[in-house]
């Protein structure tokens, strides 16, 4: 079997292996697209008086599917393209979906789980060239190790490190894979009101990505997709004037089983989703006031957009479902255990075990 | 070979790899399995075509989860809230650890990760355990697998009763281990399968337990009969049984001190199958013509086997008995007493003090009714042990009741029988043709009385004899089946000579004391403390595994209650 670098050289690309192959490994970039909004507003109807409230206890949960998307990318090769000397990045992206059956038993959904190898080349190479390169690579590789070639924009963003651009392209592909999987699950009616999907990380996809999904009437099912983020930026400012305060201040005062009010970017920005924070673990049992807090994100329904806020009952119900997920925990097995829910942890583990090892992946390339 | 339902897959990891002898596999969640179950596992074939199958016996089961520790589980219950109901089931699976028994194509390579694990079929199990294609199989019980198979387990006769190997030991605590029941089952199997080769002598050591073994049990249920059939045997009592009871001057009790009910003895007398054994003086001086005189003298020392004799003075006294002219026990006691007087004529190799001690012991230890002379007429049905053994033939059983006797007399009778059979096999008795006896199996419960573990000092006479029997008996055709509560109490060489060991339920203290249990795996050690009645762990020379857990049927003979 030929290695990728040999195939590139045979395609007249002058390239050298990058010695920093291992430096860019990041397994769980769930905040890869964490946006920084200049202004944020309350987005809950009716308005929550104290900015927080206890979450009612639920007996059962409608959370049925759990999705995790991950990528592992590397700057693998530096190559000369005419007068340019640019990196080629490679990575593995994947999405895993687990289903919770009756009796709390969790099983993988192989039909919704997929892993892909990606090479990101600079867009100095045109689309046709990239396609032919992909064909050539896959002719030489066994079917299980095929690559998809994508192009990253290095010509319009000259102020950025091209390796970051390459990696961002791979992350973008991972997000698109997540969204395509969600679309497929909606199309197959897997996601329903009583079979909701919980996705690891936020839902702050760019509007264009959602629009490109072309969900048409199925778009209504997006209300059954929940995003759970384990980390957030506590210095984000909420509100205006005297009432404004940083998120850290708001969340640190949350008691166990309490949530904040729903927040949204200012309507002028993205108004299609809202988020809030929930304390999953007793405050006195964790090391820092911000540990054990999870960020819950939802898409706003059309009526909620029209009424200027996520309905309080909906936020309560979803919060109570999330609260139910607090046990069991990956305590001591994952440093983020306090804000992790177990099915997502399993989805991560399952996906990680589906990826090629670092050594094996490197051996495909150089 | 037909593919069976897959019940799990082999797992080989960095820390727990598969080896030539052990394999790990995870189990499908719906599979119920237990230690001692047998599985077959897909394996590579030597010639690269197709596949082979390896067979393994489950040793240990463990359930593992992804929990990093107990504290993680505590945290997962809302930091110790016992009422918390987790929404999610933690990831976990049952891992079976198994010993590889063999491969149908003799592949000894470690089994590969991901190999299919299936239930093994009955024929495969017998083959894997090494109990298929035996020359002369003797049923030893049957195994029940978790997938509802019931498979007979056989011993190989050549390794059970000689000549290749012989002797069996059964151990287990009283009441729960069913040692006697298992021994009787095996003796029944020997009588049914080898009627022309094996004769049996057994000792009744407590109550009237074994004094009606030729009468059918009236309480045997159909299920219990079916268990006999599973072993390939008929649920019948033993046949051709002769009973020897200790003689006593009690006419109203049929001249015996036995605990057997009178009607049982009377019925046996009517069938001419019950006799009362006694010891005359001649027995201890060499009972009949031939070269067995020394043998008789040796037997006298059995009377004192529980008494320390560091200077061998008693042994010297016993040697002197040959010169004493006495035909009755009273006369013998008188003659010995005469030697205790001062001023004896002749050489004085034995001090008078020693004769006094010997006289005192002889007086106290020969007062039992069993020390008697032959009374005229047949009403007392007296018989010497040697005469009973003379009449022993293959297919016959001699039951010797020693239950009513004190310990030192039990040792005397047991030692006498063993020695007489052994000497007969050595052709020391002119009137016994050793070929006529067949292979003689002697079963004795409470073996710890006769062959206690060595204390460092010189072994006593009876123990020395038993060592001789177990070391030379297999070639001569004298086979010892012994049983006891605690293996740690038995002489190590007696145990070491047994080719078959049967382990009944025992307690943890014994596990820590007896060296043999230390070689058991942790799960086997645990199993042996939890065995139910009717279950035993077997160890036999021809088995391909160290232990097989079997069930055996309930006795088919009438068990008299004490």
What CATH number should be reported for the domain holding residue B468? 3.40.50.300
Same domain membership, residue B420 and residue B360: no
Which chain B residues touch A342 with a CB distance below 8 Å?
88, 90
pLDDT at A23 (0 to 100): 39
- Closest Cα in chain A, distance from residue B90 (Å): 7
Give yes or no for A106 touching B (CB within 8 A): yes
Lowest mean pLDDT among A258-272, B83-97, B481-495: A258-272
Band (B331; pLDDT cuts 50, 70, 90): confident
Tally of residues, chain A? 366
Burial class (CB in 10 A: 0-12, 13-18, 19+), A275: buried
pLDDT at B295 (0 to 100): 60
| Arithmetic mean of pLDDT, A145-173 | 88
> Which residues lie closer than 8 Å to A135 by C-beta, 6 or more apart?
none
Peptide bond into B163 cis (omega under 30): yes
For residue range B429-472, what is the model confidence (pLDDT) as tens digits?
A: 888 888 999 999 999 999 988 888 866 556 677 888 888 889 98
Same domain membership, residue B535 and residue B424: yes
Same domain membership, residue B537 and residue B388: yes
pLDDT at A341 (0 to 100): 95
Same domain membership, residue B111 and residue B202: no
pLDDT at B140 (0 to 100): 96
Same domain membership, residue B528 and residue B393: yes
Cβ distance of B71 and A332 shorter than 8 Å: yes
Provide the whole-model pTM. 0.81
- For B65, name the nearest residue in chain A, comparing CA atoms only: A330
The answer to whether position B133 is within a domain reads no
ipTM of the complex as predicted? 0.81
The answer to whether position B208 is within a domain reads yes
Which chain A residues touch B66 with a CB distance below 8 Å?
330, 333, 349
Residue B43, H or E segment: strand B38-43
Same domain membership, residue B390 and residue B270: yes
Residue pair B484/B490 in contact (Cβ under 8 Å)? The answer is: yes
Whether B213 has a pLDDT exceeding 90, the answer reads yes
Last residue of a domain, one of B105, B120, B135: B120
pLDDT at A108 (0 to 100): 93
Question: What is the spatial distance between Cα B537 and Cα B546, in angstroms, rounded to a whole number?
Answer: 9
Characterize the bridge pairing of strands B168-171 and B478-484: parallel
Same domain membership, residue B234 and residue B334: no
The beta-strand segments (E) located in B44-158 are 52-65, 92-103, 116-119, 137-144, 150-156
Question: What is the spatial distance between Cα B97 and Cα B527, in angstroms, rounded to a whole number?
Answer: 15
Last residue of a domain, one of B365, B400, B432: B365
For residue range B21-53, what is the model confidence (pLDDT) as tens digits?
A: 999 999 999 999 999 999 999 999 877 778 999
Residue pair B363/B159 in contact (Cβ under 8 Å)? The answer is: no
The answer to whether position B375 is within a domain reads no
The answer to whether position B558 is within a domain reads no
Which of A328, A337, A341 lies nearest to residue B90, judging by beta carbons? A328
Mean residue pLDDT of chain A comes to 85
Which chain A residues touch B67 with a CB distance below 8 Å?
328, 333
Interface of B with A (CB under 8 A): 66-69, 71-73, 75-79, 84-91
Mean residue pLDDT of chain B comes to 89
Cβ distance of B86 and A106 shorter than 8 Å: no
Whether B519 has a pLDDT exceeding 70, the answer reads yes
Same domain membership, residue B428 and residue B325: no
Give yes or no for A103 touching B (CB within 8 A): yes
Domain that holds residue B164: 152-278+384-551
The answer to whether position B243 is within a domain reads yes
Give yes or no for A141 touching B (CB within 8 A): no
The answer to whether position B556 is within a domain reads no
Interface-testing mutation among B73, B75, B79, with chain A (most A C-beta atoms within 10 A): B75
| Arithmetic mean of pLDDT, A204-228 | 79
Q: What is the DSSP letter of B481?
A: E
| Arithmetic mean of pLDDT, A151-167 | 84
Cross-strand pairs, A202: none
The answer to whether position B378 is within a domain reads no
pLDDT at A149 (0 to 100): 95
| Arithmetic mean of pLDDT, A234-244 | 72
Cα atoms found within 13 Å of the Cα of residue A17, Cβ hemisphere only: 13
Cβ distance of B78 and A106 shorter than 8 Å: no
- For B86, name the nearest residue in chain A, comparing CA atoms only: A327
What is the number of domains present in chain B? Answer: 3
For residue A214, give the nearest of A204, A224, A222 by alpha carbon. Answer: A222
pLDDT at A12 (0 to 100): 84
Same domain membership, residue B295 and residue B269: no
- For B77, name the nearest residue in chain A, comparing CA atoms only: A327
Same domain membership, residue B504 and residue B481: yes
Which chain B residues touch A335 with a CB distance below 8 Å?
none
For residue range B244-295, what is the model confidence (pLDDT) as tens digits?
A: 999 998 888 889 999 999 999 999 999 999 999 999 888 776 544 445 555 6
Last residue of a domain, one of B309, B333, B365: B365
Same domain membership, residue B476 and residue B456: yes
Question: What is the spatial distance between Cα B561 and Cα B261, in angstroms, rounded to a whole number?
Answer: 9
Burial class (CB in 10 A: 0-12, 13-18, 19+), B469: buried
Q: How far is CA B155 from CA B165, B170, B495, B497, B540, in A?
A: 12, 15, 18, 17, 7
Band (B359; pLDDT cuts 50, 70, 90): confident
For residue A21, give the nearest of A59, A78, A99 by alpha carbon. Answer: A78
Which of B73, B79, B88 lies nearest to residue A342, judging by beta carbons? B88
Tally of residues, chain B? 562
Same domain membership, residue B272 and residue B389: yes
Q: Which residues of B384-415 are buried (b: 16+ CB within 10 A; e: fewer)?
A: bbbbbbbebebbbbbbbbbbbbeebbbbbbbb
């Amino acid at each position: 079997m030929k290695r990728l670098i040999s195939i590139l050289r045979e395609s007249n690309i002058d390239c050298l292996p990058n010695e920093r192959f291992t430096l860019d490994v990041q397994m769980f970039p769930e905040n890869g697209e964490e946006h920084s909004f200049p202004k944020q507003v309350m987005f809950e109807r009716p308005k929550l008086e104290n900015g927080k409230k206890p979450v009612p206890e639920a007996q059962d949960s409608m959370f049925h599917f759990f999705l995790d998307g991950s990528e592992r990318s590397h700057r693998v090769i530096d190559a000369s393209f005419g007068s340019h000397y640019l990196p080629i990045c490679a990575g593995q992206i994947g999405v895993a979906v687990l289903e919770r059956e009756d009796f709390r038993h969790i099983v993988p959904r192989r039909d919704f789980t997929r892993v892909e190898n990606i090479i990101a080349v600079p867009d100095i190479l045109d689309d046709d060239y990239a396609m032919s390169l992909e064909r050539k690579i896959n002719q030489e590789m066994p079917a299980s190790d095929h690559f998809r070639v994508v192009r990253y924009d290095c010509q319009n963003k000259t102020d950025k490190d091209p390796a970051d651009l390459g990696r961002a392209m791979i992350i973008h592909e991972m997000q698109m894979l997540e969204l395509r999987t969600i679309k497929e699950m909606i199309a197959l009616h897997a996601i329903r009101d009583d079979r909701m999907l919980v996705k690891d990380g936020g839902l702050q996809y760019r509007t264009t990505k959602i629009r490109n999904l072309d969900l048409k009437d199925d778009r209504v099912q997006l209300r059954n997709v929940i995003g759970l983020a384990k980390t957030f930026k506590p210095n984000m400012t909420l509100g205006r004037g005297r009432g404004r305060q940083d998120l850290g201040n708001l969340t640190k005062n949350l008691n166990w089983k309490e949530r904040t009010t729903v927040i949204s970017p200012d309507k002028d920005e993205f108004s299609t989703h809202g988020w809030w924070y929930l304390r999953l673990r007793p405050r006195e049992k964790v090391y820092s006031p911000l540990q054990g807090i999870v960020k819950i994100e939802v898409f706003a329904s059309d009526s909620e957009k029209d009424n200027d806020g996520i309905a309080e009952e909906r936020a309560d119900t979803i919060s109570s479902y999330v609260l139910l997920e607090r046990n069991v925990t990956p305590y001591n097995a994952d440093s983020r255990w306090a804000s992790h829910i177990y099915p997502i942890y399993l989805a991560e583990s399952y996906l990680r075990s589906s990826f090629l090892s670092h050594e094996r992946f490197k051996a495909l390339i150089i | 070979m037909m593919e069976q339902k897959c019940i799990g897959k082999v797992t080989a990891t960095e820390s727990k790899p598969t080896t030539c002898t052990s394999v790990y596999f995870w189990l499908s969640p719906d599979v119920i399995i237990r230690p001692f179950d047998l599985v077959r596992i897909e394996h590579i074939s030597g010639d690269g075509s197709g596949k082979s199958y390896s067979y393994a016996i489950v040793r240990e089961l463990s359930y593992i989860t992804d929990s990093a520790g107990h504290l993680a589980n505590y945290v997962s219950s809302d930091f110790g809230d016992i009422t918390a109901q987790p929404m999610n089931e933690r990831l976990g699976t049952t891992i079976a650890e198994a010993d590889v028994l063999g491969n149908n194509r003799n592949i000894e390579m470690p089994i590969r990760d991901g190999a299919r694990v299936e239930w093994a079929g009955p024929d495969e199990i017998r083959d894997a355990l090494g109990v298929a294609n035996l020359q002369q199989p003797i049923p030893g019980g049957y195994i029940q697998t978790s997938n509802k198979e019931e498979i007979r387990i056989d011993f190989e006769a050549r390794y059970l009763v000689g000549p290749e190997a012989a002797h069996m030991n059964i151990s287990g605590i009283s009441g729960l281990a069913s040692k006697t029941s298992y021994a009787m089952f095996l003796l029944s199997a020997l009588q049914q399968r080898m009627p022309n080769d094996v004769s049996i002598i057994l000792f009744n050591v407590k109550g009237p337990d074994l004094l009606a073994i030729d009468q059918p049990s009236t309480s045997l249920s159909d299920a219990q009969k079916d268990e006999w059939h599973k072993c390939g045997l008929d649920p019948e009592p033993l046949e051709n049984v002769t009973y020897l009871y200790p003689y006593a001057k009690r006419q109203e009790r049929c001249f015996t001190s036995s605990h057997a009910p009178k009607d049982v003895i009377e019925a046996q007398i009517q069938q001419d199958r019950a006799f009362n054994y006694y010891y005359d003086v001649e027995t201890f001086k060499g009972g009949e013509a031939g070269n067995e005189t020394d043998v008789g003298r040796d037997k006298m020392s059995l009377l004192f086997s529980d008494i320390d004799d560091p200077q061998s003075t008693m042994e010297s006294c016993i040697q002197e008995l040959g010169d004493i002219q006495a035909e009755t026990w009273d006369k013998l006691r008188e003659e010995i007493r005469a030697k205790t007087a001062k001023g004896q004529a002749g050489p004085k190799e034995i001090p008078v003090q020693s004769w006094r001690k010997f006289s005192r012991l002889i007086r106290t230890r020969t007062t039992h009714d069993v020390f008697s002379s032959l009374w005229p007429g047949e009403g007392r049905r007296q018989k010497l042990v040697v005469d009973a053994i003379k009449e022993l033939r293959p297919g016959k059983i001699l039951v010797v009741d020693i239950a009513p006797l004190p310990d030192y007399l039990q040792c005397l009778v047991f030692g006498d029988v063993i020695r007489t059979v052994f000497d007969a096999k050595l052709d020391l008795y002119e009137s016994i043709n050793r070929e006529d006896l067949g292979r003689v199996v002697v079963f004795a419960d409470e073996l710890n009385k006769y062959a206690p573990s060595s204390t460092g000092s010189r072994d006593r006479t009876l123990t020395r004899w038993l060592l001789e029997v177990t070391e030379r008996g297999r070639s001569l055709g004298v086979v010892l089946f012994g049983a006891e509560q605690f293996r740690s109490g038995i002489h190590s060489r007696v145990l070491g000579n047994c080719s078959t060991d049967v382990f009944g339920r025992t307690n943890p203290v014994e596990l820590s004391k007896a060296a043999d249990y230390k070689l058991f795996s942790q799960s086997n050690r645990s199993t042996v403390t939890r065995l139910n009645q009717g279950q035993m762990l077997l160890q036999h020379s021809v088995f391909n595994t160290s232990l097989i857990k079997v069930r055996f049927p309930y006795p088919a003979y009438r068990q008299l209650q004490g």
